[in-house]
Structure 1
Amino acid sequence: MTGQLSFPRQYARTQRFSLGAPRAFTVAPDDSRVVFLRSRSGTDRANLLWVHDLETAREYPAADPAALLGGVDEELSAEERARRERSREGSAGVVGYAVDQSVQLAAFALSGRLFATELRAGDTRELPVAGPVVDPRPSPDGRRIAYVAQRALRVVEADGSGDRALAAPESDEGTVSYGLAEFIAAEEMDRARGFWWSPESDALLVARVDDALVRRSWISDPAHPGQRPVEVAYPAAGTPNAEVTLVLLGLDGSRTEVEWDRERFPYLARVHWSASGPPLLLVQSRDQRGQRCLAVDTATGGTSTVHADEDPVFLDLFPGVPAWTPDGRLVRIADEGGARVLMVGDRRLTSGALHVRAVLDIGEDDVLFSASPDTEEAAARGGDTAGERTGEVVVYRAWFRGSGDQGGWEAVGERPRAVHSAVRGGEVIALTRATLDRPGGTVELIRPGYDGAKRPRESVVAEISSHAERPVITARPRLLPAGERRIPCAVLLPEGYREEDGPLPVLMDPYGGPHGQRVVAAHNAHLTSQWFANHGFAVIVADGRGTPGRSPAWEKAIRDDLARVTLEDQVDALRALAADHPLDLDRVAIRGWSYGGYLAALAALRRPDVFHAAVVGAPVTDWRLYDTHYTERYLGDPERQPAVYAANSLVTDEGLAEAAEPARPMMIIHGLADDNVVVAHSLRLSSALLAAGRPHEVLPLSGVTHMTPQEQVAENLLLLQVDFLKRSLGMA
């Protein structure tokens, strides 16, 4: 590229352009300061803790890991490495922090050591405590910090004195922990926490996890046969989960067991404790068709049902709920009347025009939430509004009291086609926006208000700058719905493509499964697809049934039928787009990672009439090997539905029976250190292909996990894939 840094190298060294971008915002309740993480440049992995003072417009680092560690490299405990893998955290330095209620004290762990920062002064000190420290969190009053060390929940005074254990494992067997989220909660429930302070700062709710019955997996590195395998408690579908209980620990030494029907509702999915009401628990049944929102009596540990949900297909979990309003009403997200809506008490605050994604904050009289336009309702109304709004996520406010004549909801901030998120303090909102026409994103600190005609109008207080690098290429996706089902798609053509150049080989580039939306109105999300397009492909990203952001029915259509439904939508999107795009349907490839890898293998094996080559990255090939909470939500219990598992597998006799001729070129890629989709998936697929006489390539990645953070690996994976695809499709 004539001396210019190549995209694969830049993409790898910037960790997908995430380094240098501000994130993890907290706005003080008095709107005096905003706290966030950001590294010094777009290639620096080490995050600093920053403070933006809104009164003086001064921005300063409150904690610099290089200074705090004296230039020594970080050392991570096994628990901290596991937490980062579960959250897909690839950066270094301060990767997470917690604050007190007034946002004056912050606490974080660095190299297993505990640090506390006085945010107004920017003064950071190390507290001499037992380690290695995991997940430190100040009490709401800022007087103490709770943390986990060696599987025990400990508390220390904010000045470093009085360090003590509130709860510790009862034996040395290593199966019990206090204050940590179990594998399933962190990987699949989006619950990374294992303890919660009381609003009065005098007690904590603490999860006790016993994984003695969980089946063990051993992750080894064949490139280093002298190293011992790492033991992982991995609950595969149909096998026992960890036993999770909850205890209320008082700082006075009291201990109260929290009771609920754990046999019927074994999953502890959410915990909420605020001054607005008693602690709330959201517990789920093993089949995820029933759940209860429970209020905890802190005097006895007993629980009472606040709300019950049942669904014949499955129930999903959402960020930010359940929670209380200040006047004691329950806030939740519900599937009602075919729509995903926001509920406060018995009042439905949104209509089918919005597909609610998350609750971001609850104020005195309103709820701040994110939502996407419901494209199915838009399509039913006619017109192309669904296409105009494809991939959009907007932040809204909805009122539950004191709204006067306003009522309903309104968007926060300007409304370019974009993906938004937000954090609120008192009135000030940190609004993050990523658009299609601008690399990276912007972060504005805004104060909502109204103009003279009582129309919503926000004033921008400040902007948080980003140090992320600008990509050396520009993504130019066209977002549109395709086919009768109006499947959300992104189409990317080579830079400089002209109609007279003729039809192009096609590369389908999906994730295509649950919890993975790829068709979004954000520039950087499409950079890799654009890079492949610039190598001579028409690249298509299709979010078929099962992907989020559309409607409850869209997400639940895959129950018991992952393989057929998700593959069918890739084929339908391809054929629909061929009507008005320059697609050479005689040369179609597909690539994907994780669920996308599974989908790519399905395409090559079951639809070789459509797909001519596949790059299969870290695929789930046998669903009996994948975890309980995810797999059983979509395929049920393998002991009760063995035929469903067999039909959706790539390696069972039933699954391979679906394989058709001719055999298509397939490159299988897998990290040997992957503890989420273990390499056994790819090894079993390779063995099955070999037994069937089907040629394929296998690329094992030594020391690589599911998120492939290593710079050289990430760079060369892109180069090897494009070379394989060109060879397989006969491209020059």
Structure 2
Amino acid sequence: MRIFRPFALVFFMGIFLVSAQNKQVTLEEIWGGAFRPAYMESLTSLNNGKEYVVQHYDRSNQNMRVDAYSYETGEQTRNILSSNKIKQLNYFETYQLSPNENFALLGVNTEAIYRRSTRAIYFVYNLNNGENIMLAGHPVQEPQFSPDETKVAYVYENNIYVKDLASGTTTQLTQDGKKNEIINGITDWVYEEEFAFVRAFDWSADASKIAYLKFDETRVPEFSMDIYGSYNNQLYPSQQVFKYPKAGDDNAKVSLHIFDLNLKENKAVKLPKNYEYLPRLKWTKDKDILSVQALNRHQNEMDLLFVDATSLEADVILEERDEAYVDVTDNLTFLNNNSFIWTSEKDGYNHIYHYSKKGKLINQVTQGDWEVTAFYGFDPNTGRVFFQSTENGSVNRDVYSILANGKNKLRLTPKTGTNNADFSADYSYFINDYSSVNTPSVYTLHQAKNGKLVRKIQDNSALAEKVKDYGFSPKELSTIRVNGEDLNMYMIKPHDFDENKKYPVLMYQYSGPGSQSVANTYFSTNDYWYQLLANQGYIVVTVDGRGTGFKGAQFKKVTQKELGKYELEDQIAAAKLLGERDYIDENRIGIWGWSFGGYMSSNAIFRAGDVFNLAIAVAPVTSWRFYDTIYTERYMTTPQENPTGYDENSPITHVSKFDDTNHFLLIHGSADDNVHVQNTMQLIEALVQENKQFDWRIYPDKNHGIYGGNTRLHLYTLMTNYILKNL
């Protein structure tokens, strides 16, 4: 349904807030970084636990530095690295210290591959004598020091190599690596994207062995993308071709291998089952015992395996089973006696467990109707476990410590909001990043034993003072009762809100499994855009419906095999309830989202056109048949098993229901290697064949993030104008 009314379309870039008493805000300011907060530079704790190191660039003398600072005082204690003092290098981009901090791997000419993977030229710098040697004469991936610091392993052209630092000799461990066929030691595209896993090799504790995964991609279908390049230097498009297994198709065949460097033997490990996925491998405290997390294709059966590197026998130490799916954990931590810490949702909420080296449960460390959201580590000196949780409400985060026996839990962060901790290596200190809807990030140093404040490191008082001039509205946190659940919601109103007026509403949502958009944190960049819209007379609302995270496994996993069904029901019901409020115009409710959120907004405008009269979908999935195996099948099983679940929840299925007197804007990047532009093209074709009128925009050579140069400014100007004109 279309509401006809006068409007003023803003064609210029500097869209402003109409307010006599407040400073104007523009899209150029938002996307130019005017509201970028001060933040702690990425820091790494040194082994002594008393110092941390920070990398920074000194523009005055064009010097890249890594300096050490005292936790207690914040004062610089020494310089660790300085590019001006390193032979063969004028600069470096990345650094990695060796286990005993005697060497550093320095990366230059870093090139991004996919979301998490890079390749670069690396140098090995001796911090004691200043010697600097090139690791290889070409870009390589994922270099890692051996535990004894005598060697560095890396991957080049899908094969694993080891360089001996004393002799300078390099040994090639695997021979069969080949692009789009065989990968050794790093993961394929889908593992990297969905398991957040790139380096697929690991050194044993005594540096005598390397365990690694081999991916045989020969049966995985290929996907190709045209790269158009710039007008001035590319007459013909090039093509990027890579293996991408879509739901129901063949995955790469993955196998586990152990290379013995002393014996120069490379052997395959026979596992107790034919597992589909091996998403984690990690050596235990025992130099001969390797741990492996292994999953079936449905990802609802996970085994923790211990592999004896001598006999090559693999035993199932722990089993996790779930009717829906089991999440891979990054929290597996081995204690000195080879007992281990594990996190699991098996009691309905994500909690910490302590198991013996034989896999026998020693103790459930945490429990309650709340979630452990981060595991920070175990201090062997005090026997305390450090973690972050939602015990103070699902929109909040606090840092706690607790004894491994589950007793003497201590809250270390007193302020309600979002607290994120970074601990020193010896767990004597932690740096806390605190924010709330009213407070931009404040960085403070605390004693880990009791949370006592040691010193304030940095705050964003300057930003807080700056935004006062703009008259921004508070982000109001609340809940809304929908379909039997109290759903978390935030609302941003115009700064001159009048409850006697009626306002249009723009709803933002992501809605993906386990996600969270409503949280007690300070503004993101999008929030400043919402402030701009609010002060143009819009109310902006976000509701986290069923399927989102941090409210227990049942709430999250209710969407199993029906991805998009219950999430859409909740957005529709929430919009209807909002429309009943006196100050909301029920005939002017829009919805937008990106990726999964774009999938949701597409479905909303097609299937609930009587509720929503505008939708914007950026980089949307339009059929789960087009998306990858690991993500999609985790929630939907395969399309062969669940065709109805795939098709009934696809926006393409419902284009005939689209009332094109409503407004739909569809946006995608042509080089999106994650959610392929194929999704948008198929939806466009379906709409065309139904003769449905809509708007669309393709950004050439832009990936899933759609950024670079002026791209974000252009994109948000497009969306702003569209909303001002049509909602």
TM bucket, shorter chain: 0.7 to 0.9
1:475/1:527 contact within 8 Å kept: no
Asked whether 1:149 is paired with 2:166, we answer no
- Matched residue type, 1:691: Q
- Matched residue type, 2:248: G
- Determine the structure 2 residue equivalent to 1:585: 586
Equivalent of 1:178 in 176, 184, 199: 184
Equivalent of 2:122 in 109, 114, 120: 114
Q: Give the 3 Å change call, closer, same or farther, for CA 267–464 of structure 1 in structure 2.
A: farther
CA drift of 1:537 comes to 1.4
Q: Give the 3 Å change call, closer, same or farther, for CA 457–617 of structure 1 in structure 2.
A: closer
- Determine the structure 2 residue equivalent to 1:362: 378
Q: Quick one: distance in 2 between partners of 1:584 and 1:48? A: 56
CA drift of 1:415 comes to 3.0
- Determine the structure 1 residue equivalent to 2:335: 325
- Determine the structure 1 residue equivalent to 2:98: 100
- Determine the structure 2 residue equivalent to 1:80: none
Q: Quick one: distance in 2 between partners of 1:299 and 1:527? A: 58
1:21/1:38 contact within 8 Å kept: no
Q: Give the 3 Å change call, closer, same or farther, for CA 214–434 of structure 1 in structure 2.
A: farther
- Determine the structure 2 residue equivalent to 1:497: 496
- Determine the structure 1 residue equivalent to 2:536: 535
- Determine the structure 2 residue equivalent to 1:460: 454
Q: How does 1:103-252 map to 2 (within 5 A)?
A: 103-111=101-109, 112-116=120-124, 125=132, 127-158=134-165, 161-170=167-176, 172=178, 175-222=181-228, 226-252=236-262
Equivalent of 2:28 in 9, 20, 35: 9
Q: How does 1:25-36 map to 2 (within 5 A)?
A: 25-36=43-54
Q: Give the 3 Å change call, closer, same or farther, for CA 181–439 of structure 1 in structure 2.
A: farther
TM-score, normalised to structure 2's length?
Answer: 0.84
CA drift of 1:370 comes to 2.2
Q: Quick one: distance in 1 between partners of 2:25 and 2:221? A: 44
Q: Quick one: distance in 1 between partners of 2:597 and 2:179? A: 38
1:256/1:300 contact within 8 Å kept: no
Query: What is the CA deviation profile of residues 405-450 of structure 1, one whole-angstrom value per residue up to 9, with x for unaligned ones?
Result: xx1422233333114243441023443424125665344343223x
Q: Quick one: distance in 2 between partners of 1:713 and 1:194? A: 35
Q: Quick one: distance in 2 between partners of 1:39 and 1:73? A: 9
CA drift of 1:144 comes to 2.6
- SS of residue in 2 equivalent to 1:562: coil
- SS of residue in 2 equivalent to 1:638: coil
Q: Quick one: distance in 1 between partners of 2:71 and 2:198? A: 30
- Matched residue type, 1:427: Y
Q: Give the 3 Å change call, closer, same or farther, for CA 10–259 of structure 1 in structure 2.
A: farther
Q: Give the 3 Å change call, closer, same or farther, for CA 36–318 of structure 1 in structure 2.
A: farther
1:487/1:573 contact within 8 Å kept: no
- SS of residue in 2 equivalent to 1:499: coil
- Matched residue type, 2:375: V
Q: Quick one: distance in 2 between partners of 1:684 and 1:69? A: 54
Q: Quick one: distance in 1 between partners of 2:440 and 2:80? A: 25
- SS of residue in 1 equivalent to 2:212: strand
Q: Quick one: distance in 1 between partners of 2:126 and 2:179? A: 39
- Determine the structure 1 residue equivalent to 2:435: 435
Q: Give the 3 Å change call, closer, same or farther, for CA 329–173 of structure 1 in structure 2.
A: closer
- SS of residue in 2 equivalent to 1:354: coil
Query: What is the CA deviation profile of residues 146-204 of structure 1, one whole-angstrom value per residue up to 9, with x for unaligned ones?
Result: 22222222222456x52413423426565222221221221111223212122223322
- Matched residue type, 1:197: W
- Matched residue type, 1:505: P
Query: What is the CA deviation profile of residues 603-630 of structure 1, one whole-angstrom value per residue up to 9, with x for unaligned ones?
Result: 1100111111111100000111100011
Q: How does 1:220-299 map to 2 (within 5 A)?
A: 220-222=226-228, 226-252=236-262, 253-261=264-272, 263=274, 265-275=275-285, 278-299=289-310
Query: What is the CA deviation profile of residues 646-696 of structure 1, one whole-angstrom value per residue up to 9, with x for unaligned ones?
Result: 1121224xx446x35465211111000100001010011111111112111
**Runs of 5+ unmatched residues, structure 2:** 1-13, 17-21, 110-119, 356-360
Q: How does 1:550-589 map to 2 (within 5 A)?
A: 550-577=551-578, 582-589=583-590
Q: Quick one: distance in 2 between partners of 1:48 and 1:665? A: 52
2:674/2:704 contact within 8 Å kept: yes
Equivalent of 1:349 in 340, 365, 369: 365
Q: Quick one: distance in 2 between partners of 1:119 and 1:609? A: 67
- Matched residue type, 1:305: V
Q: Quick one: distance in 1 between partners of 2:45 and 2:575? A: 45
CA drift of 1:348 comes to 1.1
2:417/2:436 contact within 8 Å kept: yes
CA drift of 1:461 comes to 6.0
- SS of residue in 1 equivalent to 2:227: coil
Q: Quick one: distance in 2 between partners of 1:330 and 1:230? A: 43
- SS of residue in 1 equivalent to 2:329: coil
CA drift of 1:329 comes to 2.1
- Matched residue type, 2:309: T
- Determine the structure 1 residue equivalent to 2:420: 420
Asked whether 1:307 is paired with 2:318, we answer yes
Q: Quick one: distance in 1 between partners of 2:522 and 2:101? A: 33
1:177/1:209 contact within 8 Å kept: yes
1:9/1:715 contact within 8 Å kept: yes
Output the aligned Cα RMSD.
3.4
CA drift of 1:597 comes to 0.6
**Runs of 5+ unmatched residues, structure 1:** 75-92, 374-384, 450-455
- Matched residue type, 1:634: Y
Q: Give the 3 Å change call, closer, same or farther, for CA 592–618 of structure 1 in structure 2.
A: same
Query: What is the CA deviation profile of residues 434-477 of structure 1, one whole-angstrom value per residue up to 9, with x for unaligned ones?
Result: 4125665344343223xxxxxx3424267378999888665721
2:502/2:585 contact within 8 Å kept: yes
- Matched residue type, 1:635: M
2:543/2:571 contact within 8 Å kept: yes
CA drift of 1:574 comes to 3.0
CA drift of 1:519 comes to 1.2
TM-score, normalised to structure 1's length?
Answer: 0.84
Q: Give the 3 Å change call, closer, same or farther, for CA 171–460 of structure 1 in structure 2.
A: closer
- Matched residue type, 1:595: F
Query: What is the CA deviation profile of residues 512-568 of structure 1, one whole-angstrom value per residue up to 9, with x for unaligned ones?
Result: 112432112211333343333233211111111111211101110111212221111
Equivalent of 1:676 in 653, 674, 679: 674
Q: Give the 3 Å change call, closer, same or farther, for CA 40–549 of structure 1 in structure 2.
A: farther
Decide which structure has the larger Cα Rg and report it: 2
- Matched residue type, 1:553: Q
Query: What is the CA deviation profile of residues 707-729 of structure 1, one whole-angstrom value per residue up to 9, with x for unaligned ones?
Result: 12313111111111011011112
- Matched residue type, 2:28: R
Asked whether 1:511 is paired with 2:510, we answer yes
- Determine the structure 2 residue equivalent to 1:371: 389
With 344-353 and 136-145 compared, the bigger mean Cα shift is at 136-145
With 415-424 and 516-525 compared, the bigger mean Cα shift is at 415-424
- Determine the structure 2 residue equivalent to 1:377: none
- SS of residue in 1 equivalent to 2:376: strand
- Matched residue type, 1:395: V
- SS of residue in 2 equivalent to 1:296: strand
Q: Quick one: distance in 2 between partners of 1:314 and 1:225? A: 48
- Determine the structure 1 residue equivalent to 2:69: 52
Q: Quick one: distance in 1 between partners of 2:538 and 2:334? A: 50
Q: Give the 3 Å change call, closer, same or farther, for CA 272–257 of structure 1 in structure 2.
A: same
Equivalent of 2:395 in 386, 391, 399: 391
Q: Give the 3 Å change call, closer, same or farther, for CA 116–573 of structure 1 in structure 2.
A: farther
CA drift of 1:577 comes to 4.5
